[in-house]
Structure 1
Amino acid sequence: MQRDELAGWLRLALTPGLGPQAARRLLAAFGLPQSIFAQDDAALAQVLDGARLGALRKEPPALAAQLDATLAWLQREGPAREVLTLGDPGYPAALLAMEDPPLMLYRMGLLTAAPQRALAVVGSRNPTPQGLQNARRFSRAFAEAGVTVVSGMALGIDGAAHDGALEGAAAGAVATIAVVGTGIDRVYPKRHLELAHRIAERGMIVSEYPVGTPPLKENFPRRNRLIAGLGQGTLVVEAALKSGSLITARLAAEQGKEVFAIPGSIHSPHARGCHALLRQGAKLVESAQDVLEDLRLVLPAAPALHDPEEDAEGEDPLLDAMGYDPIGLDALIARTGIPAPLLQAKLLELELAGELARLPGGLFQRVGAA
């Protein structure tokens, strides 16, 4: 994209008070931004009210600096980078089908066409160990089946979903897409810097926000529509009742896409969002295969979340006694009759083996598929 063309798109996107809907009306009426700004007031008045017309005639104060920053980002060494606009033939068709597609998309990584086989995987920023394992296993299975995993690179479930997809994807495939709520030159949260580098190498990072945009609270719920839009369906792994993941699920449903949810313990606040979705008509899933088959995305036999080895005879009786809900030491003593010192030693052994996790409040929870 030439400098003048990029400047036109940035000016349209940055004009205060114009808004994306008015900008799209202008594009529909006059074509590319450079043509819009060449129109006289009489022509523009057919599309805009007086306030927006006045704003359009004033160059945004930040335009020059934003143009320089965007060009500098595009020219930086490292993963491939590009800016896509609504007028670009490479703009993702899945987003064009939405009511409010972004005027501009910033992309970095494997800049292929938007994958035709993609699933959104979202969930809590403060998940249980089981939730993290589910997100990673499901996403790895999706990637092994040739399906790109879309998520938001947040802490918790999002990060585990990206990790699982990177583990399972074939070489050269777009393993995962991270839709971020900041400028694409920012990594948020900072602890995901290494993850962001891996995604840029084997997947794609996408943002609708101008280069340099900091992590603003109001931007994250809005970007969720893009996560839902890029996926053929949305899987919610674990979520509280007041969760951004439920926003993504709602947006996916509004876009006419399937919503899936993994059930959890009736005692866990982390499962209540998924249970609410199930009551509202989301599809209950127990394995990655359930999702792939429902959306007809199965190519090879996708590995199920359930590990057949876990069904083998001789499973540890303590794990069997624990069940899958968080449980305290006293309750385990009552269930098993094992003396406290011996029980604590056994719990430590299982924790080190990765069979259970120690939770806040002196609780333990079995880690593994039911």
Structure 2
Amino acid sequence: MPLFASTQVSLTELEARLRLHRLPELGPRRFQKLLEAFGSASKAISAPASAWRALGLPTACADARRSLDIRDGAYHALAWLEREGQHLLMVDQPGYPALLAEISDPPPLLFVAGDPGILEKPQLAMVGSRRASRPGMDTAAAFSRSLAGAGFVITSGLALGIDAAAHQAALDVGGQTVGVLGTGLENFYPQRNRRIADAMIAQGSAVISEFPLDAGPQASNFPRRNRIISGLSLGVLVVEASVASGSLITARLAAEQGREVYAIPGSIHHPGARGCHQLIRDGAVLVETIEHILEGLRGWQHLPLSTETPAPIEHPLLCLLFAAPHTSEALADAAGWALPKVLAALTELEMDGRAVSEGGRWFARLS
């Protein structure tokens, strides 16, 4: 049974909302303007074009509302909602996430594949570079496992890199995670992460989108979806990001929405750390351990603290490798060790799964 069956919206009104939702140039604010002006989506759909123009709405909106493409898309969405595990949340109806409803432009409709109930649970967003370093990926996974173990839903954008590492790590410890797409749920992007999305849905988590089911990967949609990632969450943790990263957009939106912003520092020589350093200069909380996040959010915890908080790094070579990848020769110089001693230590670290060599450089790994 689709979730909308428990709301006060009739089937006629639901279809009208789905039609409005597909109109070109009609974002959340214009959608809300129509509902306020006409009292319902069904009345807005049947209103004369002159009434739409009087509200300052684009001509393209009024002209397209009765097109076959718009109508067929709404009918397809109704059929999609009849399937098990597929839901629609509406901003003025029960079941819509309360935190998201507080932002200045909440999505009027949210398509949900999976369990919509987890959207009301305390969430923490984790975001970062699509081209993350191996240490960055390991750090994201370790923090995600700990946060999920502490009772938080891990929310991210199902992108490559840090997002994927965070989602997968939460699943690995039996936690819950929410993926917010920048496409429609039937036009999944990136396809490389489809397996993770399917696992999320199967294991009681959720994948959501504000876009029509068939919406493709348009560049403008991804910054737009970032406000949902931050809007659903109590705070946003940026793990690794350049100064031009979309993750900084998410962090800025989080700050504007009154959410906490956390950032993990890195080496001054690593371009992927510069975005985090910029956020810290701008007032983000510098995070080195899970406690730096949890100490301000203890009232939201549902489960005991995980024991998997990233431990202090004691091995001198690992300290250097977590700062930045090194060749073995560079490690010898930096540590002041003879090269044979460095090579022997690296071999032991590799056998323990704590370091790995790629392309002639060594990378640290969190166990």
- Class of the TM-score when normalised by the shorter of the 2 chains: 0.7 to 0.9
Q: What SS does structure 2 have at the residue aligned with 1:357?
A: strand
Q: How does 1:1-370 map to 2 (within 5 A)?
A: 1=4, 3-39=11-47, 48-49=55-56, 51-52=58-59, 55=62, 58-76=65-83, 80-112=85-117, 114-169=119-174, 175-201=176-202, 202-296=204-298, 297-298=300-301, 300-303=304-307, 305-307=309-311, 315=315, 318-319=317-318, 324-334=323-333, 335-339=336-340, 344=343, 347-360=346-359, 362-368=360-366
Contact 2:290 2:310 in 1 (8 A): no
Q: Is the 8 A contact 2:149 2:305 kept in 1?
A: no
Of stretches 154-163 and 66-75 in structure 1, the one that deviates more from structure 2 is 66-75
Which SS does the other structure have where 1:217 is aligned?
coil
TM-score by length of 2: 0.87
Distance in structure 1 (CA, Å) of the matches to 2:183 and 2:322:
41
Q: 1:270 to 1:42 in 2, by over 3 A?
A: closer
Rounded Cα–Cα distance in structure 2 between residues aligned with 1:61 and 1:204: 31
Cα separation, partners in 2 of 1:70 and 1:237, compared to 1, 3 Å: same
Whole-angstrom CA distance in 2 between matches of 1:38 and 1:320: 66
After the TM superposition, which of the residue ranges 157-166 and 243-252 deviates more from structure 2?
157-166
Q: Distance in 1 between matches of 2:159 and 2:90?
A: 25
Q: CA deviation at 1:213?
A: 1.4
Say if 1:271 and 1:110 are closer, same or farther in 2 by CA, change over 3 A.
same
Query: 1:207–1:320: structure 2 CA closer, same or farther, 3 Å change rule?
Result: closer
Cα distance in 2 for partners of 1:122, 1:264 equals: 15
- One-letter amino acid of the structure 2 residue matched with residue 9 of structure 1: R
Deviation at 1:344, TM superposition (A): 5.0
Measured in 2, the distance between the counterparts of 1:323 and 1:118 equals 28
1:5, distance to aligned residue in structure 2 (A): 2.8
Q: Which amino acid aligns with 2:193?
A: H
Quote the offset at 1:329 in angstroms.
2.7
Q: In the TM superposition, what whole-angstrom CA distance separates every residue of 1:281-328 from its partner, at most 9, and x where no partner exists?
A: 0000112222121123345234353337x65xxx5x654675632212
SS of the residue 1:199 aligns to: helix
| Distance in 2 separating the partners of 1:322 and 1:58 | 58
Q: Is the 8 A contact 2:126 2:154 kept in 1?
A: yes
Amino acid at match of 2:180: V
List, as ranges, runs of 4+ consecutive aligned residues in structure 1 with deviation greater than 4 Å: 38-46, 50-54, 317-323, 342-346
How many residues in Structure 1 have an aligned counterpart in Structure 2? 354
Q: Does structure 2 conserve the Cα–Cα contact (< 8 Å) formed by 1:15 and 1:56?
A: no
When structure 1 is superposed on structure 2, of 30-39 and 197-206 the one drifting more is 30-39
CA–CA distance in structure 1, aligned partners of residues 323 and 247 of structure 2? 23
CA distance in 1, matches of 2:152, 2:16: 36
User: Relative to structure 1, is the Cα distance of residues 218 and 57 closer, same or farther in structure 2, using a 3 angstrom cutoff?
Assistant: closer
Contact 2:156 2:167 in 1 (8 A): yes
CA shift for structure 1 position 19: 3.7
State the partner residue of 2:7: none
Aligned CA-pair RMSD: 2.6
Cα distance between partner residues in 2 of 1:57 and 1:367:
53
Residues 52 and 62, structure 2, Cα contact 8 Å, conserved in 1: no
- What's the offset of the Cα at 1:53? 9.2
Q: Secondary structure at 1:107's aligned position in 2? A: strand
- 1:213-252: per-residue Cα shift (whole Å, max 9, x none)? 1222221111000000000110001111110100000000
Gaps of 5+ in 2: 5-9
Deviation at 1:95, TM superposition (A): 1.7
Counterpart secondary structure, 1:101: coil
Q: Separation in 2 of the partners of 1:136 and 1:68?
A: 40
Distance 2:270 2:355 in 1: 16
What amino acid maps onto 1:59 in structure 2?
Answer: R
TM-score by length of 1: 0.86
Native 8 Å contact 1:120 1:231 kept in 2: yes
Choose 68-77 or 146-155, whichever is displaced more: 68-77
Tell me if the contact between 1:240 and 1:272 (Cα under 8 Å) persists in the aligned partners: yes
Q: Distance in 2 between matches of 1:187 and 1:325?
A: 34
Identify if the C-alpha distance between structure 1 residues 330 and 50 changes in structure 2 by more than 3 Å, giving closer, same or farther.
closer
Q: Contact 1:115–1:148 (CA<8 Å) still a contact in 2?
A: no
CA distance in 1, matches of 2:194, 2:160: 12
Shift of 1:142: 1.2
